[in-house]
A and B are shown apart, each in its own frame.
Chain A
Amino acid sequence: MANGAGAVRGRRASWGRRLVVGIPAAWLLVFFLLPFLIVLRISLLASDGVQLGSLFEQVDGHWRFAGQLQSYALLLQDSLYLSTYGHSLLYAAITTVACLAIGYPFAYFMARAAAGLQPLLLMGVMLPFWTSFLLRVYAWKGLLDAQTGWVGQALVGLGVDRLLFALGMIPADGQLMYSPFSLVLGMVYTYLPFMVLPLYATLSKMDLRLLEAAQDLGATAWQAFWRVTVPLSRSGIAAGAMLVFIPCVGEYVIPELLGGPETLMIGRVLWDEFFANNDWPVAGAVAVVMVLLILLPMALLNRSQEAEAKEARR
């Protein structure tokens, strides 16, 4: 009897579990997978600039696959697309590295701050979300102006612009806006919280006695940081990097507002193909390749995490 009751409870629990898992799964199916398949279908169609062909044609009473890979071939032929993908990945990577370099120390000291101070600091990280994203990005236009913006004046005054020019991040001395620099700055500024939060979550959970154990065994504080803290926060680093890198690759608004002619990114190309050229198959192909480019690092991350979890279970 006790067994029967347990089984009933088990069945009910599994229904509840299915529901909890099922709702987000259905959401992803309807609002992500289906649209993706639609875009994929469009990317395979032929187009005369006005009308789209169909994926299957009836010839002599037989259905025939009429899709074509012409749009994808175009992506390879025209160097514009390849270099734009390259730019998108490059700027996203620079942004991710910069976010990590700024966000890690920030999250570290936040996690080690007095317990009463931590919620306040956490609040500080999230505070920018209270203002419109568009306004915050737009504000940089004024701030970075080398003549009138005080950030721009300070950077030029300190001679940082010459360094940035040497690095190829700005087109000329004193020209901070509409450059790779202003683009990366805007993206770092916008996405920094997405790096800080997962890092903070990992670092605040860390057992501080491990650092004492490391010191007890002869490690200086610096060695203990590199040998213990960093390896143990790897999952936070990976999560933060994904949260920054992925949206940066497809970013449209920030390059539009802060970027320049050299910083053409794939989001802009996508927009142009859809709405300026009206070439939906090519636009679809651009989108599909972008999704694949993003899925690849995610799949790798997933696999390494699965391996880690498997090891943990053993």
Chain B
Amino acid sequence: MSAPAGDAFLRIDAVTKDFGDFRAVDGVSLDIPRGEIFALLGSSGSGKSTLLRMLAGFETPTEGRILLDGVDLAGRPPYERPVNMMFQSYALFPHLTVWDNVAFGLKRDGVRKDELAERVDGMLRLVQMEPFARRKPHQLSGGQQQRVALARSLVKRPQLLLLDEPLGALDKKLREATQIELVNIIRSIGVTCLIVTHDQEEAMMMASRIAVMSAGRLLQIGAPAEVYENPATRFVADFIGNVNLMDGTLMRAPDGAAEAHCADLVHRLAEPLAGREGRPVTVAVRPEKIRLDAQEPLQMANRVQGVVRAFSYFGDCTMYHLELPSGARLKANVENDERHGELDFALGDAVWASWAPGSQVVLTE
């Protein structure tokens, strides 16, 4: 999925931003090809919003360059950039109707009246807000406001669309439907799009590639499945989804295979040792990769016994929290794929957790 370097439509080149002594963005480089939907994922304070604001022109990079279609954006104020942003919680103008909100940007550009009306109407039709054109923003639901905000940011046909927490203001049920609709509209227009969010689900659902950001740096860039299944660092593994992290040491098994010796068990690893014997590592296992059994599954290489200390029932699955012999906790997600009213295990049960050798990720950072 990653594009060759020469093909970058948006190029962020070693960009750094300092606020006084605080370095908000630290040497970020990123290439995004034309038409891609890309997500920047990070917690608050990770620098993702600062990066977004530099793209929009509200902040100036301390160092580095931002190139859009080969043109350096430095020194261009927000109102002269071919970039439009859909703001967090939308920032619709409360004193203007839906129609005037969407028309605002075109009016600033001095677009002719008939063309203006045509484009505004067309955009409202695209987001299915035509019947609400005369309403004021406060008369709309959250989902409707979001569609107006999208229309407003697309009507000027920007070369780059920025979305700041696009689904953040919507409730969970609405989000799923909205994200599909949103992605369809963005795809149909073909605009290059950068999403900034702290919500990993939002990022993974909408983007074809995501970048995980922390303390001003990009930690990992890749397709959602790549980042989820092959996290590069402990931070990324922990940040995206649920994970069990166990510290241990890499060792060679008598049969020559690689093993990671942790407090509660010895992990059989699928990858070669490659001369890293004796190195401290962290083994990461996702809860849904773990199987629970009442009897010891002797055929499984990776197994450990624990006591059920807590569980959370989600309907489609149940998350069990096991206490291992060392006192460490292990989370295991069991799918409820058969319909019976009882849970498989009760509090205080001793159960065996096991997983296949390829299920873990060995992390050195």
Contact = CB atoms under 8 A, between A and B. Distances in A.
Contacts of B85: 213, 216
Contact of A217 (B57, B105, B139): B105
Given A223-B108, A227-B104, A232-B94, A216 B79 contact: yes
Interface stretch (A123-131, A147-155, A165-173, A204-212): A204-212
A219 interface: yes
Given A212-B87, A213-B87, A218 B136 contact: no
B58 interface: yes
Q: How large is the interface on A (under 10, 10 to 19, 20 to 34, 35 or more residues)?
A: 20 to 34
Given A216-B85, A217-B156, A227-B104, A232 B95 contact: yes
B87 A209 contact: yes
Contact of A218 (B56, B88, B94, B109): B109
A278 interface: no
Interface string A166-182: 00000000000000000
A94 interface: no
Contacts of B58: 212, 215
Q: How large is the interface on B (under 10, 10 to 19, 20 to 34, 35 or more residues)?
A: 20 to 34
A62 interface: no
Contact of A216 (B78, B136, B139): B78
A311 interface: yes
B93 interface: yes
A212 B92 CA distance: 11
Contacts of A135: none
Interface in A194-246: 207, 209-210, 212-220, 223, 227-228, 231-232, 234
A51 to B, nearest CB: 59
A312 interface: yes
24 contacts: A209-B87, A209-B88, A210-B94, A212-B78, A212-B87, A213-B87, A213-B91, A213-B93, A215-B77, A215-B79, A216-B57, A216-B84, A217-B84, A217-B104, A217-B156, A218-B79, A218-B80, A220-B77, A227-B104, A228-B93, A228-B95, A231-B95, A232-B94, A314-B139
Interface of A: 207, 209-210, 212-220, 223, 227-228, 231-232, 234, 311-312, 314
Given A213-B93, A216-B79, A234-B95, 10 more contacts: A209-B91, A210-B94, A212-B78, A212-B87, A216-B83, A217-B79, A217-B152, A218-B80, A220-B77, A314-B139
